[in-house]
């Protein structure tokens, strides 16, 4: 056994590390705040702000989902229930503020949503968290379908098919700040995204947050060190429900309408996609996933009717080939970054990316033409594809895109092993270490 270092040396070293450590810990959050404040001034296209608002809401929702999946190992198919119910409660509260004089300024509405989400999670979590794994997933599905079906029954709360609308202009002002314009709502959303993300990150560093990871890894062992796995899951579940509700409240403020769809399987599936594509193993993963998903959803849908198919393919590709998600993939390169051997990767990676792009262009072209032909648009003859006009009912474009796909595929078979070898080389431990 090594002799321990003298006791006096330790506190000093720990103190110095703690100070620099604290700076390093807060720096990313400060940087994020700066970026969020500056963003609408940097990107000035009119369509940018609504999309950024949408991204902000998605970020909060996806981060709350990862408290369950990534942190707790709990796969839920019904997380949108807490998002939606939080949103409905927030919308009703905002209506009460506008009509009946309840003092609820707009900036506090997400908090109401959060409390609503928390309450629902406390109720539903009491039986949902009894088991983990597949049983938990099935119960979450059952609760989700239950709520979706109940929405048609409880008209007064859910507003039937039209949903519940609200108006943020009618609410009392806080410090004279009104939030009637999209640009103003952006700053509110940005504020809450930062607060919620910081809170969720802090939660993961608390004893219960650490034990949630432990229960995820080995629930049996956790019981033998004094923790009821069921109680740990329950607390995680309630916390996740709270933050999902905050997201719902932000949704209510931003869109001023909530419908049963916001609670349904589609929304629950969307957040699963977001979190997984981004990467459930890291904190930033769901953030990346939410941004990418929202971007694809809003941008792609302008260009193609089958964007959801592409998203599905991307999702499956992630599950099969990059299960750690985008963030996980980036993190894989951290050792090479530290030893400054990333330069050797640039060439092989660019080559692989280029051929992958060619293959993707071919596949996308083929799919788009199938979509064109199958959707029976007999009036149109040509379709604009990749800035070129093609006639999908003739043979030439099909051959062209098929050639692209095949060429790209063959190129990938050549380039991918080279990229993998370069990666292995960059990670090879240096001799003599």
Partner 1 sequence: MLQIAFFSVLNGLVYGMLLFMLSSGLTLIFGMMGVLNFAHAGFYMLGAYFAYSLGLYLGFWPALVLAPLLAGVAGAAVERFGLRRVHRFGHVAELIFTFGVALLIEEAVALLWGRPAKTYEVPAVLDFTLFRAFGSSFPAYKAFMLLVAVAIFLFIVAILTRTRAGLIIQASLTHPGMVAMLGHNVPRVFMIVFGIGSALAGLAGVIAGPVLGTFPGMAQVLGSIVFVVVVIGGLGSLTGAFAASLLIGIVQTFAVALDVSVGDVLMALGTPASASAALHDVWKVTVAQVAPIMPFLLLIVVLMVRPTGLFGTRET
Partner 2 sequence: MTPAIELVDVHKAFGATPIIRGVNLAIEPGTRQALIGPNGAGKSTLFNLVTGKYPVSSGRIRLRGEDITGRRPYEINRRGLSRSFQVTNIFPRLSVFENVRCGVLWSLGYRYSFWHRADNAREVQARTEAVLEQLNLTGRRHVPAGVLSYAEQRALEIGITIAGGSDIVLLDEPTSGMSRSETEHVVQLIRQVTAGKTLLMVEHDMGVVFDLADRIAVLVYGEVIAHDAPERIRANPAVQEAYLGLPQGVA
Question: Which residues lie near partner 1 (CB under 8 A)?
Answer: 73, 75, 77, 127, 130-131, 133-135, 137-139, 141-143, 145-146, 149-150, 152-157, 265, 269, 272, 276, 306, 308-309, 312-313, 315-316, 319-320, 323, 367, 370-371, 374-376
Nearest Cα neighbor of 430 from 358, 298, 300, 336 is 336
For partner 2, the closer of residues 222 and 292 by Cβ is 222
Contact pattern for partner 2 over residues 180 through 219, marking x by CB under 8 A: ----------------------xx-xxxxxxx-xx-xxx-
The CB-of-271 to partner 2 minimum distance in angstroms stands at 22
- Is residue 275 a contact point for partner 2 (CB under 8 A)? no
> From partner 1, partner 2, none, which one binds at residue 179 (CB under 5 to 8 Å depending on kind)?
none
DSSP code per residue over 285-296: HHHHHHHHHHHI
Those residues with Cβ within 8 angstroms of residue 302's Cβ, 6 or more apart along the chain or in another chain: none
Which region, left, alpha or beta, applies to residue 226 given φ > 0 means left and ψ of -120 to 50 means alpha? left
Nearer to partner 1, 112 or 143 (CB): 143
Q: Find the helix or strand (DSSP H, E) in which 272 lies.
A: helix 265-278
Residue among 49 and 242 whose Cβ is closer to partner 2:
242
Q: Which is nearer to partner 2, 222 or 405 (CB)?
A: 222
Nearest to 298 by CA among 40, 52, 42, 43: 52
| CB of 174 closer than 8 Å to CB of 106 | yes
Give the C-alpha separation, 26 to 37, whole Å. 17
Nearest residue (CB) to partner 2, 44 versus 205:
205
Which 3 state secondary structure label does DSSP give 107? helix
Residue 389 interacts with which of partner 1, partner 2, none, CB < 5 to 8 Å by class: none
Smallest separation (angstroms) from partner 1 to the CB of 79: 13
82, 240 contact by CB (below 8 A): yes
The 8-class DSSP code of residue 131 comes to S
**Residue 146 structure tokens:** 């239950």
Is 390 in a helix, a strand, or coil? Answer: strand
Q: Nearer Cβ to partner 2, position 165 or 427? A: 427
Closest distance between partner 2 and the C-beta of residue 117, in Å? 16
Q: Which two tokens stand for residue 92?
A: 């009703």
Q: Which residues in the 233-262 window bind partner 2 by CB under 8 A?
A: 235, 239
Residues of this chain that interact with partner 2 (CB under 8 A) are 1-2, 4, 202-203, 205-211, 213-214, 216-218, 220-228, 231-232, 235, 239
């Amino acid at each position: 056994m090594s002799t321990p270092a003298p006791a006096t040396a330790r506190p000093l070293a720990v103190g110095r590390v703690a100070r620099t450590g604290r700076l390093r810990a807060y720096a990313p959050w400060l940087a994020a705040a700066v970026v969020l404040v500056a963003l609408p001034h940097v990107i000035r296209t009119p369509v940018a702000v609504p999309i950024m608002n949408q991204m902000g809401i998605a970020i909060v929702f996806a981060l709350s989902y990862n408290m369950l999946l990534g942190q707790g190992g709990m796969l839920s198919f019904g997380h949108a229930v807490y998002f939606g119910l939080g949103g409905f409660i927030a919308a009703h509260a905002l209506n009460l503020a506008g009509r009946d004089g309840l003092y609820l300024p707009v900036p506090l509405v997400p908090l109401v949503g959060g409390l609503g989400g928390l309450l629902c999670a406390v109720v539903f979590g009491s039986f949902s968290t009894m088991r983990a794994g597949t049983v938990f997933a099935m119960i979450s599905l059952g609760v989700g379908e239950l709520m979706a079906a109940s929405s048609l029954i409880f008209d007064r709360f859910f507003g039937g098919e039209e949903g519940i609308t609200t108006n943020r202009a009618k609410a009392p002002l806080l410090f004279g700040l009104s939030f009637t314009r999209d640009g103003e709502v952006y700053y509110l959303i940005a504020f809450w995204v930062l607060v919620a993300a910081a809170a969720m990150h802090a939660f993961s560093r608390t004893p219960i947050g650490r034990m949630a990871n432990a229960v995820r890894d080995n629930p049996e062992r956790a019981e033998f060190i004094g923790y009821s796995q069921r109680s740990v899951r329950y607390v995680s579940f309630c916390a996740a429900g709270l933050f999902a509700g905050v997201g719902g409240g932000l949704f209510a403020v931003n869109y001023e309408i909530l419908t049963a769809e916001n609670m349904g399987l589609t929304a629950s599936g969307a957040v699963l996609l977001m979190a997984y594509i981004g990467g459930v193993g890291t904190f930033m993963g769901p953030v990346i996933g939410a941004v990418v998903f929202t971007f694809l959803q809003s941008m792609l849908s302008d260009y193609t009717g089958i964007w959801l198919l592409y998203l599905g393919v991307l999702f499956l590709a992630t599950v099969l080939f990059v299960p750690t998600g985008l963030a996980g993939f980036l993190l894989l390169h951290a050792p090479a970054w530290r030893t400054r051997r990333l330069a050797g990767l640039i060439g092989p990676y660019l080559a692989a990316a280029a051929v992958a792009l060619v293959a993707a262009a071919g596949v996308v072209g083929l799919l788009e033409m199938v979509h064109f032909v199958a959707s029976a648009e007999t009036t149109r003859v040509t379709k604009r594809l990749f800035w070129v006009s093609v006639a999908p009912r003739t043979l030439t474009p099909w051959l062209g895109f098929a050639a692209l796909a095949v060429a790209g595929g063959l190129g990938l078979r050549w380039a991918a092993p080279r990229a993998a070898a370069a990666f292995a080389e960059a990670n090879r431990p240096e001799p003599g270490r």
